[in-house]
Amino acid sequence: ATPVSIMVGTGRAAELGVLFRRGDALQALQGARVVAFDKTGTLTLGRPELTALDTAPGVAREEALRLAAAVEARSEHPIARAILRAAEAEGVAVPPAERFETVTGMGARAIVDGRDVIVGADRFLAAEGVDLGPVGAAGARIAEAGRTPLYLAADGVALAAIGVDDPIKPEAPAALAALRGLGLHTVLVTGDNAASARAVADRLGLDAVVAEVLPGGKVDAIRALRDAHGPVAFVGDGINDAPALAEADVGLAIGTGTDIAIEAAEVVLISGDPGAVVRALEISRATLRNIR
């Protein structure tokens, strides 16, 4: 590629809200065979709402909400915000929490009212040796409906299944259809539950799903996709996406996401619109075509 054509291509991209931070990213994107997406905040709005709360027999809804909210009050995760908003909407007083910790890709934990309270994915409870008990079936129903199931436990006993729903971005279906039209293999790579990930992938017509992965697992997924199909573009927004953005042949960060993701990416999509991925690809192809 000549320096001038690269300048013209990156200039046109910038007008469309796509910042190429390096000239060679245009070339890398043009060669991509796979586009892999993070889910939360990338294909979905990243603003989950609490839509279900099923408690174990003898556990009051208010008690479950106040314990969950107490732990999540200290967390930055979008899921935590959803639980706090629900507690606020229902007028639940949130008690203080001590010894808060977050466990990446798993959930959060704190001491509330002297009890050891955890909130997170089923694998978090499994790792802690907590049986899902009577709330397991409610959690499974939440996942099958395409929502994210979480569990609340105190002192080793599961108290509730919590469902959060994070709507798909309105522009996502058209963007995915266009990428398939360009002949790309499209993949969802997420830390979320497998059933909820599958439901989102089916609605958007993605070719494959890799779910329930920790940040390192996203890197492994990128490598496996490259071995199977060729160069990989990865689109993400979160702290947990930074390693995958760096590993990909070209990393595209959602500009509304975290600074850490933006720093790890070669391309920044200024708006949250996943359609910008299509525009970036079209510009990369047009630029490189002009040169040949």
What is the contact surface with ligand ADP in residues (CB under 6 A)?
Answer: 38-40, 72, 75, 77, 79-80, 102, 105-108, 119-121, 148, 150, 190-192, 238, 240
Strands 232-236 and 148-154: unpaired
| Residue 99 region by backbone torsions, left for phi larger than 0, else alpha for psi between -120 and 50, else beta | left
Pick the closer one to ligand ADP by CB: 80 or 235: 80
Chosen residue from 6, 9, 19, 41 binding Mg ion by CB under 5 A: 41
Place of tokens 């320096």: 3
* Amino acid letter, residue 102: T
Cβ-based neighbour number of residue 93 at 10 Å: 9
Query: Nearest to residue 65, comparing CAs of 49, 54, 77?
Result: 54
Pick the closer one to ligand ADP by CB: 28 or 210: 210
Pick the closer one to Mg ion by CB: 55 or 240: 240
Min dist CB 19 to Mg ion, Å, is 19
Min dist CB 237 to Mg ion, Å, is 5
Catalytic residue check, 24: no
Chosen residue from 72, 166, 237, 266 binding Mg ion by CB under 5 A: 237
Pick the closer one to ligand ADP by CB: 142 or 276: 142
Residue least distant from ligand ADP (Cβ) = 191
| Dihedral sign (CA 141, 142, 148, 150) | negative
Radius of gyration of the chain (CA): 21
121 binds, options ligand ADP, Mg ion, none, Cβ within 5 to 8 A by partner type: ligand ADP
Which position among 38, 237, 249, 273 bears the catalytic label? 38
What are the helix and strand counts (H, E) for the chain?
12, 13
Tokens of 151: 């569990």
Give the binding site for Mg ion (CB under 5 A): 38, 40-41, 237-238
